[in-house]
Amino acid sequence: MELTGKRVLVTGADGFIGSHLVETLAAAGCDVLAVACYNSFNSWGWLDTLPAETLGSVEVITGDIRDAAWTRSVVKEAEVVFHLAALIAIPFSYRSVELYMDTNIRGTVNILQAAGECGVGRVLMTSTSEVYGTAVYTPIDENHPLQAQSPYSATKISAEMMAESFHRSFGLPVVIARPFNTYGPRQSARAVIPAIITQVLSGERRIRLGALHPTRDFNYVRDVCKGLVLLAACDEAVGRRVNIGSMSEISIGGLAAMISELAGAGVEIVTEEERMRPEKSEVERLVCDNSLMRRLTGWEPETSLRKGLSMTIEWFREGGNLERYKARLYNI
């Protein structure tokens, strides 16, 4: 499927990955309709920070995917849907399970139903590597067992199952993308890399984190967005779940040490009990097998971890970006 010139809807466009995806799609010549979550400040989230030239080529609309009627009213304008809108913070999912169910499951069902009713040509649903839980074997391919180790991961598994059911039951052309840990400019403070960078750049000498031994497969956001676009355009990917990842891993402790080195700061890294997941909820190891993604699309990660972290650190140092974050608070 050729995306250039098509009317493309992006839910969650006001967020971290969503705002970068809007830039990627606009640069590729798509007619982008960007959905931001309604709020009384009329804030468009990270879309407000995009260059005027980019934002001027995008139509932004505010609403809420939990409203089925509203969702249908915007989906009917689209030929392709990139569904990224979700609640994603794992610690907050322990506290607000029903809110995660409403947004991540019901919101996804609203998108799927609207896409089917309106004859959308392709739906790219963004899931997460958290659906795998702690690795049973590595690298993790798409046949790895699913393990709900947090309410967040349970809702994303449920959303995936609904998407698969709409494909099998109604022929909806759905692709499910499973990015491993994404990072880069604009990421929310609840994620580990911004948590480390903001503490380091704020002059903290004791960097407070949760468990230091788990490993993750980190991927720069622009690489992930390129992968999402390639998957949406790939006819062979329809009806499939596809990993996006680098096939490399690093421990959280090792990550913190690398960031402090790149930032030129000498710090002590400590574990803080408040930031620990419940024991059986901690995902100990995630490392991607991206062979299916490479076979289907030819995608390869272009940005090394050191390079991506250096660019992310520089973004935090620029233009008051660090001041947007509350470095001394634990953001759940």
What CA–CA distance (Å, rounded) separates 133 from 110? Answer: 26
Q: φ, ψ for residue 164 (rounded to 5)?
A: -65, -40
Q: φ, ψ for residue 207 (rounded to 5)?
A: -90, 115
Burial class (CB in 10 A: 0-12, 13-18, 19+), 277: middle
Quick one: tokens of 277? 């997941």
Is-contact 228 175, C-beta < 8 A?
A: no
Gyration radius of the chain's alpha carbons: 19
Cβ neighbors of 41 (< 8 A, separation 6 or more) are none
Is-contact 111 66, C-beta < 8 A?
A: no
Q: φ, ψ for residue 331 (rounded to 5)?
A: -90, 115
Is residue 132 part of the annotated active site? The answer reads: no
Angle (CA) 220-222-225 rounded to 5° is: 110
Catalytic residue among 100, 132, 152, 325: 152
Q: Which residues are catalytic?
A: 152
